[in-house]
Amino acid sequence: MTIVVFILIAGLWAAFVIPSFFDHRNNAPRSTTREFARTRSKLAQVSMAQPDSEVYVRRHSQRRRQRILIGLGIASVSTLAVATMTGSVPWLWLNIAINVSIAAFVTLLLTIKAQQAMPRAQVVDITVQAGARRPALQPIDLAEQPYEESKTVRVING
């Protein structure tokens, strides 16, 4: 009987003391710092998840391109493995077609990246009224202008 009483006392003591011990460790400075960082990262994810923002669109298009490239890579490796194991020529041709599509996809991505990296020409809009005449073209003497202006190209719309 005394053993049962000691077990009950130990159980009651554990029920009150152990949760406060773990709660105290939960509110330690390290865990609150971790909790703050976790909350901040969640808020950053929410702020970046606005579908109309440019960052959101760019990130999701990059993920889509990455998934396509990974899928093509897995398809290439798997068709090559099947072609090697079975000795099948049609599987080999399928592997070659997938490899060509990978090369075309990478070329397309690099072309898009190069176009985005190119500086845009500045367009100056010249509004011409219906009755007004356009000014006559004047020849430009490059010797009179500074060198820096002579290498600048200005596109005029009008």
Res. 31 pLDDT band, cuts 50 70 90: low
Choice between 78 and 57, residue whose per-residue pLDDT is larger: 78
User: Where does the chain have alpha helices with state H?
Assistant: 2-26, 29-48, 54-86, 89-117, 147-150
Q: pTM score > 0.85 for this model?
A: no
In this predicted structure, the answer to whether residue 23 has a pLDDT above a threshold of 70 is no
Query: What are the tokens at 84?
Result: 């090697």
Choice between 16 and 157, residue whose per-residue pLDDT is larger: 16
Choice between 78 and 29, residue whose per-residue pLDDT is larger: 78
Task: Quote the pLDDT of residue 155.
Answer: 61
Query: Residues 31-54: what's their mean pLDDT?
Result: 75
Task: Quote the pLDDT of residue 139.
Answer: 63
The SS3 of residue 75 is helix
Q: DSSP code of 157?
A: E
Task: Quote the pLDDT of residue 42.
Answer: 81
Average pLDDT taken over every residue of the chain: 77
Task: Quote the pLDDT of residue 78.
Answer: 95
Instruction: Show the CA angle centred on residue 115, arms to residues 48 and 126, nearest 5°.
Output: 95
Choice between 97 and 9, residue whose per-residue pLDDT is larger: 97
CA dist 11 to 16, 20, 21, 23, 53, Å? Answer: 9, 15, 15, 18, 57
